[in-house]
Amino acid sequence: MFNATSKEIERLNVLLDNKEEDLSNAERKVKNLIEQNISLEEGLARNNLEKIQKEAEIRSETADEIDKARRENTDLRIKVAQLTEKVAMLEKVVDISSEIIDVKDLIGSLIKKLPEVNLKSLSVNVPCKK
């Protein structure tokens, strides 16, 4: 059997108290580490959630911008078609105008080629009713 003196028992009790205190400190440290870990995981989860929300927002904004750009593209294509049609109509008007001008020039040149009529010597007989 083990026979311990009071000094040895006291020393063992002090060692036991120290070990219990060390164990208690270790438990507190582990508990603090667990709380820090949980806090970090919650922070990471919040960051991931924020990142996912921002990515979704960016995708939505990008999709909206793409839709807007497509609508603008369609509108511009319609305007280009309308302007092309107007240009074609204006080209026809210019062609017609140039043809009219050519006809006017032709008539003018024909009139110049006509002999001059002396109106001074021309008399007109108009019957009079009485």
Triad 114, 120, 121: Cα angle to 5°: 90
Residue 27: predicted pLDDT: 94
Q: What does the mean pLDDT of the chain come to?
A: 84
CA dihedral 98, 104, 106, 111 (to 10 degrees): -170
Q: What is the pLDDT of residues 6-65, one digit of tens each?
A: 888 888 889 998 999 999 999 999 999 999 999 999 999 999 999 999 999 999 999 999
Measure CA of the first residue to CA of the last residue in the chain; give whole Å.
179
pLDDT tens for each residue of 20-36? 999 999 999 999 999 99
User: What is the value of pTM for the model shown?
Assistant: 0.41
Q: Is the pLDDT of residue 123 over 70?
A: no
The amino acid at 51: K
